[in-house]
A and B are shown apart, each in its own frame.
Chain A
């Protein structure tokens, strides 16, 4: 079993992560563990794990956020992980369809949809626009009986 220790500099909600490999550890899984929230006990100097916040375990078919690094004793480090579902199943997710409610992409969002999310200042613009024509003069009008 191989665990690739990595540093993830992308935000956790990114589907595609920007990863830098720190080290690769190979060994045998000696005790039970969950593949969703695995806890790995890995041999190695603690310095090997500094900067590690992400790992990939090909045998589990998943990538993980490292939530905790605990030194058991010299040369033995425990990693508490949680599956990164977005990266682990990115291709399968992208094969689906969905209804977008908010988007960064101008190809998708529509500012005419009123969801109350636009914030305004209290002082509005007051704009005036005259019409091209109006009354241009005046005249007396005298009404008399008969004709």
Chain B
């Protein structure tokens, strides 16, 4: 099984081992995306579980060649947004993963980057996380966000501009 489309076809036929393969390929990316969206590890794990179960249940609805990653992250994103709608704004974020070996000033900058990402509103945050962090193509990210590539580009530009503005003190830039 060497392509997402082939795995999806096996899933649609009811193969749970195909689901294992899919999780192995994309699980970590989905989990990290959801974690950045909902900022709560336990919730991110629950939502990851729900994402893959929905992929499993609706595998027969996937159109081969339609861009699986875009579809997958669209499901994850919708679940994240639904979770955020129901969650109180006062709830605190959980601790973030630290990168071992980071010098102190890098750690501070990373915390600043994390905080800045949190301050970027939807739908711009999704665009930034999907493209700049999770490495989706513009087409995949546009599919995940249910928008055109042009709209996604616009959102990404605004997210980057906002990020530059929020991180200006750390980067010594003019913005």
A and B, one complex?
A: no
